[in-house]
């Protein structure tokens, strides 16, 4: 438990910027309460859960850092999660809370923003600044718009990257998420339209189906007979030869020779 001060420091510095700690123990709740919560007065997130089946059991303490999409971006000793690293990770996040008190006319807009309803928030900002001469409202409206802009930029960057690498699964997911967040705005409509077009294309349909089928068997390959694993992978590769998952299946199949 010598790592507690380090973790507390990370929490204090970065929690308001979108960094969350989930310290997991499978010990008795009473032991966690007395040994960590009471004795060390930690304020970061602590949970009782048994994750030994999914996140490996060997070596305690051990840590994993997941990004906004739930993908693992670090695995190792907690001391390796430095303030520099966390600063870099949270810089890529779009803010989900407003970290200062804004003018009361923007209360609704702030609420919508924190709920992730960006389109609604934008409409409420426009309404609040309409015809106002109050400079404080204008300045705060601009600040909130800046936070929303960060979401737009991140969505657009993600879409551009997915398009460039031909990752249609990510493109579809991002368009779905973005059009929902900006529902009711021009931009939201534009993204919804793009999603509709994408969903119509055969290439997209195949890509999603191939990924689904591969995901379904991927974790079970090790438990299958090699010949069975190979034939299942080859089937996906044959059915969807031009999709990323199809190509991955073809590669994986090579691991299970006759």
Partner 1 sequence: MTKLSYAFVALVACLFAGTVSAGVEVGDQGPNFSFDKSWNTPEGFTDLDAYRGKIVMVERWATW
Q: Report the interface residues with partner 1, using CB under 8 A.
A: 1, 3, 7, 10, 14, 18-25, 27, 29, 31-33, 35-37, 42-51, 53-56, 58, 60-75, 78, 81, 86, 89-90, 93, 96, 116, 222
CB of 127 to partner 1, least distance (A): 26
CB of 237 to partner 1, least distance (A): 21
Taking the C-alpha atoms of residue 123 and residue 135, their distance in angstroms, rounded to an integer, is 19
CB of 135 to partner 1, least distance (A): 33
Maximum Cα interatomic distance, the chain, rounded to a whole number of Å: 78
Structure letter (DSSP) for residue 46: E
CB of 151 to partner 1, least distance (A): 10
Taking the C-alpha atoms of residue 26 and residue 172, their distance in angstroms, rounded to an integer, is 38
- Residue 31 or 104: the one with the smaller Cβ distance to partner 1 is 31
Taking the C-alpha atoms of residue 25 and residue 51, their distance in angstroms, rounded to an integer, is 9
Taking the C-alpha atoms of residue 192 and residue 177, their distance in angstroms, rounded to an integer, is 10
The answer to whether 19 touches 89, Cβ cutoff 8 Å, is: yes
CB of 62 to partner 1, least distance (A): 5
CB of 181 to partner 1, least distance (A): 11
- Residue 3 or 244: the one with the smaller Cβ distance to partner 1 is 3
- Residue 141 or 175: the one with the smaller Cβ distance to partner 1 is 175
Token code pair at residue 41: 């007065």
- Residue 33 or 242: the one with the smaller Cβ distance to partner 1 is 33
Token code pair at residue 153: 């930029």
Taking the C-alpha atoms of residue 228 and residue 221, their distance in angstroms, rounded to an integer, is 9
For residue 256, CA distances in Å to 77, 88, 227, 231, 239 come to 33, 40, 7, 9, 19
- Residue 61 or 241: the one with the smaller Cβ distance to partner 1 is 61
C-alpha torsion sign, points 149, 153, 156, 158: negative
- Residue 128 or 188: the one with the smaller Cβ distance to partner 1 is 188
């Amino acid at each position: 438990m010598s790592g507690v001060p380090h973790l507390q420091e990370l929490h204090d510095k970065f929690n308001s910027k979108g960094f969350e700690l989930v310290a997991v123990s499978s010990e008795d709740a009473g032991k966690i309460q007395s040994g960590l919560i009471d004795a060390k007065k930690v304020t970061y997130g602590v949970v009782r859960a048994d994750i030994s089946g999914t996140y490996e059991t060997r070596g305690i303490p051990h840590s994993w850092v997941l990004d906004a999409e739930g993908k693992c971006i670090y695995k190792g000793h907690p001391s390796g999660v430095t303030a520099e690293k966390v600063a870099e990770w949270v810089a890529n996040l779009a803010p989900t809370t407003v970290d200062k008190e804004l003018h009361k006319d923007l209360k609704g807009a702030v609420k919508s923003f924190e709920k992730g309803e960006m389109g609604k928030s934008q409409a409420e900002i426009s309404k609040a600044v309409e015809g106002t001469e109050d400079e404080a409202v204008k300045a705060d409206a601009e600040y909130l718009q800046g936070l929303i802009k960060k979401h737009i930029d991140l969505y657009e960057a993600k879409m551009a990257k997915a398009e460039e690498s031909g990752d249609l699964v990510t493109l579809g997911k991002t368009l779905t998420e973005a059009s929902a967040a900006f529902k009711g705005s021009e931009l939201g409509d534009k993204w919804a339209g793009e999603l509709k077009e994408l969903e119509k294309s055969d290439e997209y349909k195949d890509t999603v189906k191939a990924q689904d089928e591969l995901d379904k068997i991927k974790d079970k390959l090790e438990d299958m007979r090699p010949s069975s694993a190979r034939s299942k992978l080859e089937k996906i590769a044959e059915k969807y030869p031009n999709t990323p998952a199809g190509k991955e299946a073809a590669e994986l199949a090579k691991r299970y020779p006759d």
